[in-house]
Every structure is written in structure tokens, then in C-alpha cells.
Chains A and B, each alone.
Chain A
């Protein structure tokens, strides 16, 4: 036991002191912060680009387009045919040309010519302004023709904007809670991807370590001091510790950065108050957010409900460790079976396929969390660490979660034992191309 600790210590300290570890540990939070800042900026920014757009209006509409943020519309009288648009744009400093034909009322098709890609927002805004104007005119005509008293008011009253709220009902308490499926599934997928990356990164580190010890022949000295299985265990745990430390640093940095970012971008926004406010659209903290932006932030705040997050984090850690242990021991067996990393491909490919499959099923689970494929792969240990985490935000019955966890534990115990047997033989087998058949024989030594 004492020796295992010494091994864990070496595996941990040599890796943590590597420059690559330091760089990765510091770069990822910076990237995370950058990404988050980018998202916030995208969410909150106004279109600040100053544009001038020429409008050739041949219709009866009276100046149908008005200023949108920093985009101004100028009505030009010159007649520009489609072939001449390029020349026209070159000669003037217009960003784009909007062509409103005479028949726009009957054939509402409005081309916008520009040298650059017109932003979605701008396009939608033009469309909605035109639509509103045309609709108003048409409605006015209808109302006039119908000769019904107070028709306009009645029509206005008939407008009913429907708001859909998704509420998740807890199976145990029957309590319904506001939830946001988009954000929930995003959370699950992100967690699944993190697990996928960690398994690949750290399990292959174990494999690399095993190959290194085998190729530089230190392993024979080591196993004359400790049992091979004990050594393997120390190695796997040591590398896991590196992964956990790195992950914790990321979480802490991430939380600090996100909180700082929120204070910077959304000053005076109280997340707790938002959470308590529920679905009511009260204006909180006097920010200048539009209703839509506020709704998004509110959804975020509600999804990050403390109890669920705690449960999710616990499950994440469990799947993270369990999945890693399962794959790491198999990767170690592969490392022991081969002489160098190039030879490892033939054994690595099936494992990688299963792991990648897990990730893809995880993506599929985001769309249909109840499908049989998703259900089974969230129980099968090779894919469950990824798929189950994607499923979790949609609500998973307790027994399924328990079943999946137990299966994972049982299988990593079994596969660690199996890998230990291959490892024991493989590390002392030099200069031999190993086949699957041979690996099977090693199990029986």
C-alpha cells in the first residue's frame, strides 16, 4: 500500500511539473473566458456598424424603411437595373441597394444587393418593417370595405401572442419547475464532451507511460520491487489525480472568470433575484436589457438551480472517474501489448470507435432523450459516461441512474482485472508483434 502511494506520487509530480501541463491548465480558462465574453458580447451588443443603404422605391409605399440602429436608408430616384447594380455600388458609398418594385403589394419579394453578406438581423428588420407597412395598408383597405363598426379594435383584440413555458415535473415530489430545454441540453452535451476529452487525454497518457516504461526497459526493475498490478494501479490513480487537479483548477478559474464577466457585462444584475422572480418579467436592477435578452439571462439563471447542479456535478465526477478508470486500464493493457505507439493503432481503433460513438449518441440524446438507443447506451458502461450526462438534465429515473452507475463500477473492476493480466505478461514481452489471438492467450497465463 505504501509503495502504491510512492508510485502515485511519482506519476503525479512528474506530470504536474511538465510545462505542457502548466500551459494547458492556464490556457483553457483563458479560452473559456474568451468564449464566454464573446457569447455575452454577441448577446448584448447592438449592431454598431454604420451603413448607408440606397432604396429604390418604385411602389406606392411612402418611405417604407426607417433607420435601424446605425443603418440609414436613403431614397434614390435613379433607375438602376439589376445589371448596373455593381457599377452603382462601386460609384457610390452605399452599403447595399434595396429594390422595392411596383408590384410589391402583390408580389412581396424585395432583393437587397450588396458586395458583402447582409447580416441576418438587418435582413429580418427590413423584412419586418416592410411587412408591417404592407399589412397595415391591406388591413386598412379590408376594414374600410367590410364596413363593420369597430373592426380595427376587434382585430387588435384578437391578437394573442402565445408564450410557451416548459415546466419539468419532479417524479418524486410532483413539483413543477420552470426549465429551459435548450440550456439544459447544452449543459449535458458540454459535460459529455468534457468527459470524452478527458478520457482520451488521460487514458492515452497512461498508455504512453506504459509504453515508455516498456521501451526504456525500466519496467523490469520496477516490477522486481512491486507487483505489476500494484504498479499499474498506482499509475492509473496518479494520472487520474493529475486530471482531477487540472479539472478543479479549471472549474475554479471558470467560476471566477464567469462571475467577473457577469459583473462586467451585466452590472447590477442579481442572479438570485432573477431566480426567485421566476417567469415574471419584472425589470430587475435597472439594466437596459431588452425583454428578450433578459429572458435568456433569466433562463440561464434558472437552469443553474443549486440542487440540480450539485447532483449533476456529483454524477459528472462519478462518470468522469468511472469512465476514466474503465478506459485507462484498457489503454494500459494496449500499451503493455505493443512495443511503440505506432503499433498501438490496431488495438486502439475499436476503443476509439466506441468512445466516438458515445459522443455521437450523446448529440443524438440532445434531440431525443427518450429513444431506445439513447436509453441503452446510457446504461452500457463504455458509452454511459457521456450519454447519461447528456440525458440527466432532461430528467432520468433514479433506478436507471443507479443501474448505470453500478454497471460502470462492475465493469471497471472486471476490465481492470482483465487488463492487469494482459499488462503483467505484455510489459516483459519485447520485440514481438502481438495479435488479438495472442492477447487472449495471455489472459490464461
Chain B
């Protein structure tokens, strides 16, 4: 069963359609990457999921039943544009935010103390937010987002503004939350982190969803039968003759007698057959299928999408 479903969401702003018939399905326990260029409609979709705004049409389901305002307490949201009251004390403010998510004061204080200890910021409890560094404030924001143990978490560009050490800390916590079974929506431009932690993705461009599914399936789908071969020729035979008619050589780089060749398989041909042809004339070091990174897929799809839309 899908944990969260959005069906045929349409959202218009004055003279501009932010979301055009967008449907997504987020499986239970998934880390769902919401990708897309700036202005694609990601934040609009997130604001609809978090019930900050309502859609013009379309339906939303949370755990199989229609989404209701009370579900706000079961969802945690860390927006891209995030901030805290500058003049308020850190601890007091965290308790306030937790209580707005439906926690009791006592629970909030107890759990906050534990989190503060974990992140090593206990001594900041009585300090004002304006005294905190940016990274420190982000830690506080992260804590207040996950404190009420939401069943679904939404992170919009969570790593922006963090130093690498804190990014690692944050990733560790997000993965720990995934282990606990929390469903996570993750909106980012950072494709490396998408490959690292997402299990599913959806790509949105120009207010429309372009693709959605498990990340491995999508990457395999765009693996267009290209292979990377690294080998050391021994006999001086030409590669073109060695690989046979089923393969086309896309590129051939050589350095210190070591060749890196990219091959495209034109017809169905098992890898073993190719390797057998090579074995006598070259020392094969590695041979692997090239699976495109999310970055390449992203750029390819967005460009294609733009062309289609322009036509």
C-alpha cells in the first residue's frame, strides 16, 4: 500500500500554473527524492502535501484515507527557507514548536534534552537564537522537525548551508530515521546525495511530472547498452576488428598502453562472447556496464522535456 498518494493535483497562481495534473505515489518506508529544476513546482507540491496551501483540484491520501488537518501532527517539514525567532531562547523556542505539533510540554522537554545531548548543543538551551551560528541553528531546526517522531518527513534542500561535517551528521540521522521505517520526502538539487540515500524518485519539470519510480529501475532504463572496457593490448590488433560487428566503439582513450574504451552494443550479444574474442589479444582489466548517474538522467530529461514543450 502506498503511504502517501497525490492524485491529479492542479494548482494555479495568478496567470501561472504551478502544478499541472501531477500524481505521485510514495511507498511506505521509501526515501522519495523529489527532483526538478528551480521553479519546476517542487515547493508548490510540498506545500500542498504539508497542507500549507490547498490544491485547486486533485486528491490527497495519507495511509489510504483522505488527508485531514490533524495529519499535520504526523508530518514533519523542514522547509528550504527556514528560520527561527531570533530573540527567543533556543530551548523555549524548540518546546514551542514541538507543542504546536501536538506534543505535551513535558515530553517535548525530555526528548529535546536527549537530542541536544546527541548533537552536543546542551549548553545552548538558555541562549538566544541570534547568538547561534548558522550551522547550529540548522541543527536546532532539524531537531524540531523530527522531534515529534512524524510518520512522514519532508526535507526541502536539507543540506544547503551545512558544512561537510554537519552534512554527514544529518545524512546519518536521515538514514537512521529510514531504518526506523519513517517515510521521507527529499527535495534537492544534489544528485550525489540522491543516489546515496533515495530509494524512489520523481522528476518534475515545468509543472509536470516527467518520471517516477524506484531509482534503480529508472537508472537501468536509461542504461542504453553502453559498456566501459579497460584493457592492455598485447598483439597490436585493432580493437575495431576485435570487438566484432555487434559493437560500436564510441571512444578510445589510451594512456601508458592502457586503453579505456566505451562500447555500445548494437545487437544482443552476451558479454562472454566479447570477452572471448578479446582474451587472446589483450589483457582485460575491467569490463562493466555504464549505468547513468542521476545527474545525467536529470539533465537529459529536463532538456528533452524543454524541447518537447517548446514545440
C-beta contact mask, B47-58 vs A, less than 8 Å → 1, else 0? 100111100000
Kindly provide the distance from the CB of A422 to the nearest chain B CB, expressed in whole angstroms: 13
A227-B69 contact given A6-B99, A10-B96, A221-B144, CB 8 Å threshold: yes
Q: Is the CB of A225 within 8 A of B81?
A: no
A428-B100 contact given A217-B82, A217-B83, A224-B75, CB 8 Å threshold: no
Which residue from chain B places its CB closest to the CB of A429 in the assembled complex? Answer: B13
Q: Is the CB of B100 within 8 A of A226?
A: yes
Number of interface residues of B (CB under 8 A): 31
Interface membership of B77, Cβ < 8 A:
yes
A217-B72 contact given A6-B100, A7-B100, A225-B100, CB 8 Å threshold: no
A224-B72 contact given A6-B100, A14-B88, CB 8 Å threshold: yes
Kindly provide the distance from the CB of B45 to the nearest chain A CB, expressed in whole angstroms: 14
Can you spell out 11 A-B residue pairs with CB atoms less than 8 angstroms apart?
A10-B96, A217-B82, A220-B52, A220-B79, A221-B77, A221-B82, A221-B144, A222-B97, A224-B79, A225-B100, A228-B52
Q: Is the CB of A222 within 8 A of B83?
A: no
Which residue from chain A places its CB closest to the CB of B87 in the assembled complex? Answer: A14
| Bound Cα distance from A14 to B86, whole angstroms | 12
A221-B72 contact given A428-B52, A445-B13, CB 8 Å threshold: no
Residues of B within 8 A of A212 (CB): 85
Interface membership of B165, Cβ < 8 A:
no
Residues of B within 8 A of A224 (CB): 50-52, 72, 75, 77, 79
Which residue from chain A places its CB closest to the CB of B156 in the assembled complex? Answer: A220
Residues of B within 8 A of A220 (CB): 52, 77, 79, 81-82
Kindly provide the distance from the CB of B150 to the nearest chain A CB, expressed in whole angstroms: 10
Interface membership of A58, Cβ < 8 A:
no
Identify the 6 closest CB pairs spanning chains A and B, nearest first: A217-B83, A216-B83, A225-B100, A224-B77, A220-B79, A217-B81
Q: Is the CB of A226 within 8 A of B72?
A: yes
A6-B96 contact given A225-B72, A445-B13, CB 8 Å threshold: yes
Kindly provide the distance from the CB of B156 to the nearest chain A CB, expressed in whole angstroms: 9
Binding site for B on A (CB under 8 A): 3, 6-7, 10, 14, 212-213, 216-218, 220-228, 424, 428, 430, 438, 441, 445
Kindly provide the distance from the CB of B100 to the nearest chain A CB, expressed in whole angstroms: 4
Q: Is the CB of A216 within 8 A of B86?
A: yes
A225-B101 contact given A441-B14, A445-B13, CB 8 Å threshold: yes
| Bound Cα distance from A424 to B53, whole angstroms | 8
C-beta contact mask, B100-118 vs A, less than 8 Å → 1, else 0? 1110000000000000000
Residues of A within 8 A of B81 (CB): 217, 220, 430
Interface residues of B in 43-71 (CB under 8 A from A): 47, 50-53, 69
Residues of B within 8 A of A10 (CB): 96
A225-B97 contact given A14-B88, A216-B84, A216-B86, CB 8 Å threshold: yes
Q: Is the CB of B97 within 8 A of A428?
A: no
Residues of A within 8 A of B85 (CB): 14, 212-213, 216, 218
| Bound Cα distance from A223 to B82, whole angstroms | 12
Since A6-B100, A220-B77 are in contact, a sample of 17 more A-B pairs with Cβ atoms closer than 8 Å, ordered by chain A residue number, is A3-B99, A3-B100, A3-B102, A10-B96, A216-B85, A216-B86, A217-B79, A218-B82, A218-B85, A221-B77, A221-B78, A221-B82, A222-B100, A224-B72, A224-B77, A226-B72, A228-B52
| Bound Cα distance from A290 to B164, whole angstroms | 85
| Bound Cα distance from A223 to B81, whole angstroms | 13
Which residue from chain B places its CB closest to the CB of A228 in the assembled complex? Answer: B52
| Bound Cα distance from A222 to B141, whole angstroms | 12
Kindly provide the distance from the CB of A441 to the nearest chain B CB, expressed in whole angstroms: 5
C-beta contact mask, B110-144 vs A, less than 8 Å → 1, else 0? 00000000000000000000000000000001001
| Bound Cα distance from A218 to B148, whole angstroms | 18
Q: Is the CB of B99 within 8 A of A428?
A: no
Kindly provide the distance from the CB of A250 to the nearest chain B CB, expressed in whole angstroms: 25
Interface-central residue, A6, A222, A224, A438, by most chain B CB under 10 Å = A224
Residues of A within 8 A of B83 (CB): 216-218, 221
A221-B97 contact given A216-B86, A428-B52, A445-B13, CB 8 Å threshold: yes
Residues of B within 8 A of A228 (CB): 52
| Bound Cα distance from A217 to B134, whole angstroms | 14
Residues of A within 8 A of B96 (CB): 6, 10
| Bound Cα distance from A438 to B16, whole angstroms | 14
Which residue from chain B places its CB closest to the CB of A227 in the assembled complex? Answer: B69
| Bound Cα distance from A222 to B87, whole angstroms | 16
| Bound Cα distance from A213 to B85, whole angstroms | 7
Q: Is the CB of A428 within 8 A of B53?
A: yes
Which residue from chain A places its CB closest to the CB of B86 in the assembled complex? Answer: A216
Kindly provide the distance from the CB of B39 to the nearest chain A CB, expressed in whole angstroms: 13
Kindly provide the distance from the CB of B197 to the nearest chain A CB, expressed in whole angstroms: 22
Which residue from chain A places its CB closest to the CB of B49 in the assembled complex? Answer: A224
Which residue from chain B places its CB closest to the CB of A223 in the assembled complex? Answer: B52
Which residue from chain B places its CB closest to the CB of A218 in the assembled complex? Answer: B83
Residues of A within 8 A of B99 (CB): 3, 6
Residues of A within 8 A of B97 (CB): 221-222, 225
Residues of B within 8 A of A438 (CB): 14
| Bound Cα distance from A223 to B79, whole angstroms | 11
Which residue from chain B places its CB closest to the CB of A213 in the assembled complex? Answer: B85
C-beta contact mask, B1-18 vs A, less than 8 Å → 1, else 0? 000000000000110000
Which residue from chain B places its CB closest to the CB of A215 in the assembled complex? Answer: B83
Kindly provide the distance from the CB of A337 to the nearest chain B CB, expressed in whole angstroms: 14
| Bound Cα distance from A221 to B79, whole angstroms | 7
Residues of A within 8 A of B51 (CB): 224
| Bound Cα distance from A224 to B48, whole angstroms | 10
Which residue from chain B places its CB closest to the CB of A226 in the assembled complex? Answer: B100
Q: Is the CB of A428 within 8 A of B47?
A: yes
Interface-central residue, B81, B86, B101, B144, by most chain A CB under 10 Å = B81
| Bound Cα distance from A228 to B73, whole angstroms | 15
Kindly provide the distance from the CB of B173 to the nearest chain A CB, expressed in whole angstroms: 18
| Bound Cα distance from A217 to B80, whole angstroms | 9
